């Protein structure tokens, strides 16, 4: 089972994204901010990381940049999910090293399909 780390400071969003991914057949690791995400990553290396942009302390763009400098995570797929869907925000996410960028709100099918695609898995979700 593929493992995904979801980093989002909004507990509701973290829970919802986690449920969507679990229903899609993934194991979900959760962190509410960059510090917690780095603690999780010190113990475990997931198959993919999903980052929110707007978080207290280090934001998702900075965290993405940092993850690209760390050997265990530099090659992992990173998906940024953000309420900011404007071109400038998308470009800053991609420039920081994100593999892809999706605007919130996200539909269950779209999220699972995107994650499956990023992990080179069969696109049919387990709904």
CATH number at residue 112: 3.40.50.2300
Chunk the chain into consecutive blocks of 10 residues (it has 127) and report each block's average pLDDT, rounded to whole numbers: 97 96 97 97 96 94 97 96 88 96 91 96 60
Domain count within the chain: 1
Contact 67, 78 (CB under 8 A): yes
Contact 81, 106 (CB under 8 A): yes
Whether 24 is covered by a domain: the verdict is yes
Whether 52 is covered by a domain: the verdict is yes
Is pTM, for the whole model, over 0.75?
yes
C-alpha 99/C-alpha 48 separation (Å) is: 10
117 φ, ψ (degrees, to nearest 5):
-65, -45
Whether 124 is covered by a domain: the verdict is no
Whether 101 is covered by a domain: the verdict is yes
Q: What torsion do the CA atoms of 41, 47, 52, 57 make, to the nearest 10 degrees?
A: 10
Q: Report residue 26 as tokens.
A: 């993934």
């Amino acid at each position: 089972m593929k493992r995904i780390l979801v980093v989002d400071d909004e507990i509701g969003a973290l829970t919802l994204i986690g449920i969507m991914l679990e229903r899609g057949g993934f194991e979900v690791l959760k962190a509410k901010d960059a510090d917690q995400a780095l603690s999780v990553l010190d113990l475990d290396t997931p198959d993919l990381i999903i980052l929110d942009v707007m978080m207290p302390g280090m934001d998702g763009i900075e965290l993405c940049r940092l993850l690209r400098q760390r050997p265990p995570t530099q090659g992992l797929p990173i998906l940024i999910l953000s309420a900011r869907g404007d071109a400038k925000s998308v470009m800053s996410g991609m420039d920081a090293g994100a593999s892809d960028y999706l605007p919130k709100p996200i539909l269950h099918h779209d999220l699972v399909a995107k994650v499956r695609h990023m992990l080179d898995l069969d696109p049919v979700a387990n709904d």
